[in-house]
């Protein structure tokens, strides 16, 4: 039988607090959410993954997978970087669902016309993305409250709670984890060893994955978007105008941004060739993630 280690978890904090949820902003957000939920509005204004375009300057995100962590991530990134990110006007929980009222940025997703862009146009876009992502990765994590244990090595959401990733196995919400090693163990369902009598080739690969995970020399987690696909980067002409869809933002292993972006949306296979042009490549960790995904597949 495989050996499992259930390990202790870092104390759980599930989500971030609301933003600007005073009476009038809450009332406005609820009103807009109710309007956007009407069938006539949905026919008139098609939503995009739970995002409703209220006006040319305003949009509302409400879906079952939306979390307050996403709003907090956008606020945090706006406060600590120069990356073009939507301004959050209000985030609330209403009838068990999170609603985020935020700025609508100009431009269209790169997926809209990337394959038709010239090489020169692509190079201009990627040249703008490189310093943005470098800036994101250099943001320092806020220290824990006085008297609390160090949070330097924790894999978590923006405020130390759970994080969302719909491409991870078995569940949607993960963590927090006290170390990268603990995170790796949960990724493989706490599998710790494969008996020697299992001699087939795929069992050798599983042993290799366990060895790579357990022997991984982790650096402190870094601020990570988690889904840098062509769908989530906006541009107007050759100018990057925004990075959106921060629902998977978290403090993650340093390689995570690259390996997640490399495993692209199957509808945008061309993006895989571009990832290494604006993100630091992690080839050894990519091979590790390929093995992990082979045996512990996506959700």
What pLDDT was estimated at residue 9?
A: 35
Residues 35 and 53: beta-carbon distance below 8 Å = no
Residues 242 and 107: beta-carbon distance below 8 Å = yes
In a domain, 42, yes or no: yes
What pLDDT was estimated at residue 45?
A: 66
Q: How far apart are CA 139 and CA 33, in angstroms?
A: 33
What pLDDT was estimated at residue 182?
A: 97
> How many domains does the chain divide into?
1
Q: How far apart are CA 250 and CA 158, in angstroms?
A: 5
In a domain, 84, yes or no: yes
Find residue 236's DSSP bridge partners: 239
In a domain, 228, yes or no: no
Q: How far apart are CA 261 and CA 228, in angstroms?
A: 6
Cβ-Cβ contacts under 8 Å for 47 (sequence gap 6 or more): 36, 53
What pLDDT was estimated at residue 4?
A: 31
In a domain, 29, yes or no: yes
**Comparing C-alpha atoms, which of 276, 292, 240 is closest to residue 106?**
240
What pLDDT was estimated at residue 46?
A: 64
Range of 57's domain?
Answer: 23-103
In a domain, 81, yes or no: yes
pTM: 0.90
In a domain, 40, yes or no: yes
CATH number for the domain including 71? Answer: 3.30.200
In a domain, 264, yes or no: no
Residues 175 and 163: beta-carbon distance below 8 Å = yes
65: left (phi over 0), alpha (psi -120 to 50) or beta: alpha
pLDDT in tens, the chain (299 residues): 333 333 333 334 578 999 999 999 999 999 999 888 777 766 666 666 678 999 999 999 988 888 999 999 999 999 999 999 999 999 999 988 899 999 999 999 999 999 999 999 999 999 999 999 999 999 999 998 888 889 999 999 999 999 999 888 888 899 999 999 999 999 999 999 887 777 787 888 999 999 999 999 989 999 999 999 999 999 999 999 999 999 999 999 999 999 999 998 888 899 999 999 999 999 999 999 999 999 987 65
What pLDDT was estimated at residue 170?
A: 84
In a domain, 193, yes or no: no
């Amino acid at each position: 039988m495989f050996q499992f280690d259930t390990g202790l978890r870092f104390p759980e904090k599930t989500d971030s607090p609301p933003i600007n949820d005073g009476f009038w902003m809450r009332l406005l957000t609820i009103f807009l959410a109710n309007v956007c939920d009407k069938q006539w509005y949905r026919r008139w204004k098609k939503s995009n993954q739970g995002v409703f375009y209220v006006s040319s300057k305003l949009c509302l995100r409400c879906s079952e997978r939306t979390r307050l962590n996403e709003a907090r991530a956008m606020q945090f990134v706006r406060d600590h970087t120069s990356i073009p990110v939507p301004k959050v006007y209000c985030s609330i929980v209403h009838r068990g669902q999170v609603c985020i009222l935020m700025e609508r940025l100009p431009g269209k997703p790169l997926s809209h016309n990337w394959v038709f862009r010239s090489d020169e146009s692509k190079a201009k876009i990627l040249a703008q993305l490189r310093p943005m992502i470098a800036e994101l990765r250099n943001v320092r994590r806020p220290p824990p409250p006085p008297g609390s244990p160090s949070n330097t090595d924790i894999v978590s959401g923006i405020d130390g709670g759970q994080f969302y990733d719909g491409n991870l196995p078995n569940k949607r919400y993960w963590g927090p984890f006290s170390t990268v090693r603990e995170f790796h163990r949960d990724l493989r369902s706490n599998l710790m060893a494969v008996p020697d009598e299992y001699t087939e080739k795929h069992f050798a690969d599983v042993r290799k994955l366990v060895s790579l995970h357990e022997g991984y020399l982790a650096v402190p987690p870094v601020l990570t978007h988690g889904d840098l696909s062509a769908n989530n980067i906006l541009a107007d002409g050759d100018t990057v105008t925004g990075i959106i869809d921060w629902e998977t933002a978290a403090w993650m292993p340093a390689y995570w941004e690259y390996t997640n972006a490399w495993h692209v949306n199957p509808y945008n296979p061309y993006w895989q060739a571009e990832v290494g042009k604006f993100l630091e490549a992690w080839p050894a960790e990519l091979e590790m993630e390929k093995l992990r995904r082979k045996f512990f597949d996506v959700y």
